[in-house]
Amino acid sequence: MNDNNKMLQAVAWDDETQAVILLDQRALPDTEKYIACQSVEQVANCIENMTVRGAPAIGITAAYGIALAALNSDRLEITDNNYKLKIINQAFERLAKTRPTAVNLFTALERMRACFENNKENLKLNNLLLEEAKIIHDEDIANNKRMGEFGAKLLPDDAVILTHCNAGAIATGGHGTALGVLRSAREAGKKIKVYADETRPLFQGARLTAWELARDNFDVTLITDSMAGALMKSKKISAVIVGADRIAKNGDTANKIGTYGLSVIAKAHGVPFYIAAPFTTLDFKAESGADIPIEERSESEMRILVNNQHVPDSVKVWNPAFDVTPSENITAIITERGVFFPPFKFEN
Ligand code: MRU
C-alpha cells in the first residue's frame, strides 16, 4: 500500500503524548502538517479557525477535548476533585461555543456529558472519558462505511457526480459521508467521475475535495460554484451528493453555503439530490430548517483571497457559512440506518 492509499485522518488521539493530533486543513493542499493540541483552549481554537472542520470531525475533536481536560488536571497535579470537575465543566462550555451549526459537535458533547455525569466520582474517570471519545470516533468511521454501502446502491454503474464543500474522510472520523458513498460505489465496481465545486469563500472543494479525491485516484474535475448550472444543463449528471451539518426532523438540511442553490438547479434539471449524513447529524429538537442556527463568519474570509485583499474595506460583506435546503428539494437522505425518502420521518 503506498502512502496515497493510507486512510486520511483529520483527527487522532496520541496515547504516548496524550494529545489530540489534527491535520491542519488550512495548510492543504500545499502542506500536509499536523498540530498536536495539549490544551482545551488549543482544541477550541483549532475548531474555530477551521484547522479541523466538517461536522463529524468537529464532534470527534471536541470529544477528545473533554478527555484532554480530564487528563490535564492530573498532569497539573490537581488533587481537589471538585476543582477537577469544575475544569471539565469549563471545557464543555468552551467547546460548545466554537461552531454553532454543526450539530455533531453538540451530539458528541452530550455523549461525553453523560459519561462524565455517570462517572464523576469514579477513579477511572479519565480513562472512561478517553474510551468514550475513541468509541465516538470508531462509530463514525463504521457509520460512514455503512452509509457508503447504502448510498452506492443508488448510483448507476457509470456515474457522474457533483459535490460541494468537503464531506470526505477529512471532514469525518474517516472514509467520509458524501465522498464515502463514492468510495464505496467504486469498491462495488462502479465507475465514478466527480465534479467538485470550488466552494467559496474558503475553497473546501478546491483545496480539500479535489485534493482528497485526486490523492485517492478518482477522476475529479474542478468547477467554480457559478458553473454548476451550466454543468447540470449541458452534461449528464447522475446525482448531486453532499454532506450535512444539521438535519431537522422534517428533512430540511443545513450544509455549506451554496448547497441550497445547487438543490434548486438540480430540481430544475431533474438531477437527483442526495444528502449523506450519519444520525449524529440529525437534530430531533429542530422541527424544520427555521430552527437551525446559521453561523456567520469573519468578513476577512471574503475580503482576503490567499492573503491578498481584493475587496475594499468600504464594501459591506455578508458571510453566512451555511444555508438550508428545504426537504422538498431533497431526493433522499442516506444514513447508516438506510436511505430515507420524503416525506422524511426519523426516529431516534
Ligand atoms: O465550514 P465547514 O468546512 O466545516 O463545512 C463543512 C460542510 O459543510 C460539510 O459538508 C459538512 O460538515 C458535512 S462533513 C461530512
Probe target for ligand 1 pocket from 165, 200, 209, with the most ligand atoms within 8 Å of CB? 165
The span from the CA of 153 to the CA of 254, in Å, is 24
Q: How far is the CA of 321 from the centre of ligand 1 (A)?
A: 9
CA torsion sign, 95 to 98 to 100 to 104? Answer: negative
Q: How far is the CA of 82 from the centre of ligand 1 (A)?
A: 37
Q: How far is the CA of 164 from the centre of ligand 1 (A)?
A: 9
CA triplet 95, 23, 90: central angle to 5 degrees?
15
Q: What is the pLDDT of residue 59?
A: 98
The b/e string for 274-298 (b: 16+ C-beta within 10 A; e otherwise) is bbbbbbbbbbeebeebeebebbebe
Q: What is the pLDDT of residue 74?
A: 85
Angle between helices 81-96 and 55-75 (to 10 degrees): 160
Q: Whose CA is nearest to atom 15 of ligand 1?
A: 167
Residues 6+ apart with CB under 8 A from 112: 62, 63, 66, 67, 92, 129, 132, 133, 136
Residues within 6 Å of ligand 1 by CB: 53-56, 102, 165, 167, 171-172, 177, 204, 242-245, 255-256, 321
pTM above threshold 0.85: yes
Q: What is the pLDDT of residue 128?
A: 98
Adjacent-strand bridge partners of 214: none
Phi, psi dihedral angles at 337 (to 5 degrees): -100, 5
Is 223 strand, coil or helix? Answer: strand
Is 245 in the active site? yes
Q: What is the pLDDT of residue 78?
A: 80
Q: Which of 294, 239, 232 is nearest to 99 (CA)?
A: 294
Probe target for ligand 1 pocket from 25, 143, 204, with the most ligand atoms within 8 Å of CB? 204
Adjacent-strand bridge partners of 12: 21
The span from the CA of 137 to the CA of 132, in Å, is 9
Q: What is the pLDDT of residues 4-34, one digit of tens each?
A: 446 789 999 999 999 999 999 999 999 999 9
The residue annotated as part of the active site, out of 216, 245, 283, 323, is 245
Phi, psi dihedral angles at 227 (to 5 degrees): -90, -5
- Domains observed in the chain: 3-143 (1.20.120.420), 155-340 (3.40.50.10470)
The span from the CA of 238 to the CA of 79, in Å, is 60
Along the 348 residues of the chain, how does pLDDT read in single tens digits? 334 446 789 999 999 999 999 999 999 999 999 999 999 999 999 999 999 999 999 999 999 999 999 999 888 888 888 999 999 999 999 999 999 999 999 999 999 999 999 999 999 999 999 999 999 999 999 999 999 999 999 999 999 999 999 999 999 999 999 999 999 999 999 999 999 999 999 999 999 999 999 999 999 999 999 999 999 999 999 999 999 999 999 999 999 999 999 999 999 999 999 999 999 999 999 999 999 999 999 999 999 886 788 888 888 889 899 999 999 999 999 999 999 999 999 988
Helices and strands, counts by H and E, the chain: 10, 15
Residue length, the chain? 348
Q: How far is the CA of 251 from the centre of ligand 1 (A)?
A: 17
**Which amino acid does the sequence have at 183?**
R
Q: What is the pLDDT of residue 6?
A: 62
Which atom of ligand 1 is the closest one to the Cα of 281? Answer: 13
Probe target for ligand 1 pocket from 8, 53, 207, 334, with the most ligand atoms within 8 Å of CB? 53
Q: What is the pLDDT of residue 216?
A: 96
Residues 6+ apart with CB under 8 A from 190: 152, 155, 156, 157, 158, 159
The span from the CA of 276 to the CA of 257, in Å, is 16
Residues 6+ apart with CB under 8 A from 231: 162, 195, 223, 237
Q: Grid coordinates standing for 263? A: 438543490
194 contacts 163 by C-beta, under 8 angstroms: yes
DSSP string, 14-77: ETTTTEEEEE-TTSTTT---EEEE-SHHHHHHHHHTTSS-SHHHHHHHHHHHHHHHHHHHHHTT
Residue with cell string 442516506? 334
